[in-house]
Amino acid sequence: MTVIMIIHVRSKFTAVGRKEIATFFYLYGLLTICSLLIDCGVVPPASGAYAYFVAVQLGLVSATCICLMINGFVGFQLYEDGTTLSIWLLRVCSLAMFIISFAVSLLTFKGWAGLSPDNTIGLFVVVYVFSAIFIFVYIVMLVLLVLGTLQERWPLLHIIFGVLALVFSQVILYAFSEIICDNVAHYFDALFLSTLLNLLAVMLVYKFWDAITQEDLEFSVGQRQNNWEVKALLPEEDRRETMYMDSDYATSTYLNQPAQRGSVYGY
pLDDT, one tens digit per residue, over 91-141 is 999 999 999 999 999 999 988 877 888 888 889 999 999 999 999 999 999
- 196: closest CA among 32, 69, 63? 32
231 falls within a domain:
no
How many other CB atoms sit within 10 Å of the CB of residue 98? 21
124 falls within a domain:
yes
If you average pLDDT over each of 13-17, 59-63, 178-182, which comes out highest? 59-63
Looking at per-residue pLDDT, the higher value among 188 and 168 belongs to: 168
pLDDT at 76: 82
244 falls within a domain:
no
pLDDT at 126: 93
Q: Write down the mean pLDDT value for the chain.
A: 80
pLDDT at 235: 58
45 falls within a domain:
yes
228 falls within a domain:
no
| Long-range contacts (CB closer than 8 Å, 24 or more residues apart) made by 194-201 | 194/169, 194/170, 195/35, 195/169, 196/169, 197/165, 197/166, 197/168, 197/169, 197/172, 198/165, 198/166, 198/169, 199/1, 200/161, 200/162, 200/165, 201/162, 201/163, 201/165, 201/166, 201/169
Q: Summarize the confidence of residues 32-53 as an average pLDDT.
A: 89
Domains held by the chain: number: 1
Give the pLDDT confidence of 216-261 residue by residue, as tens digits. Answer: 444 444 444 444 344 455 555 555 554 444 445 444 444 444 444 4
Give the pLDDT confidence of 55-79 residue by residue, as tens digits. Answer: 999 999 999 999 999 998 888 888 8
What percent of the chain stands above pLDDT 70? 80
258 falls within a domain:
no
136 falls within a domain:
yes
Parent domain of 171: 2-219
pLDDT at 236: 57
134 falls within a domain:
yes
- At 187, which CATH number? 1.20.1070
